Amino acid sequence: MAERTLTQTTNGPRTEAASSGRQFTPRVDVYETEAEMLLFADVPGVAPSDIDLRYERGELTLHAHVKPDAPRGRAVLEEYETGDYHRVFQLHEAIDANRIEAEYKDGVLTVHLPKPEAAKPKQVQIKAG
């Protein structure tokens, strides 16, 4: 189960604070299959080039920056905020770091964390004799 293989270590800033000082905690869903762990993170308003995703020594760090939009006229109501998304997870499952992939679409970052062959379940053949 994913609850046993991934724990959140911090929501707090480990990087410089955003210019606005706002820190956001992205909502995350994590799923586990026999082949990989899948992480889905909501980071709306972020350009793919403003996402920093790192995996090092069993720790997955997600940092993303929401930049202010160009002025469109005189603001009547402004509810969209700028700032930084930040989340860190400790992975207890072995991950093949060389095969990690991520894609970003419609405000959702999808991270594929493949398990190495040695960590995948293996059916053991029984010989009759």
Query: Which of 27, 53, 30 has its CA nearest to residue 42?
Result: 27
- For the ranges 11-15, 20-24, 37-41, 72-76, the maximum mean pLDDT occurs at 37-41
Residue-wise pLDDT tens digits, 10-35: 544 444 444 446 899 999 999 999 89
Task: Provide the number of structural domains found in the chain.
Answer: 1
Quick one: pLDDT band at residue 75, thresholds 50, 70, 90?
A: confident
- CATH number of the domain bearing residue 55: 2.60.40.790
Query: Which of 104, 85, 111 has its CA nearest to residue 25?
Result: 85
Q: What is the pTM of this model?
A: 0.75
CB 11 within 8 A of CB 3: no
Residue-wise pLDDT tens digits, 77-112: 988 888 999 999 998 778 898 999 999 999 999 999
Q: Tell me the backbone φ, ψ of residue 24, rounded to 5 degrees.
A: -115, 145
Range of the domain at 91: 2-70+79-117
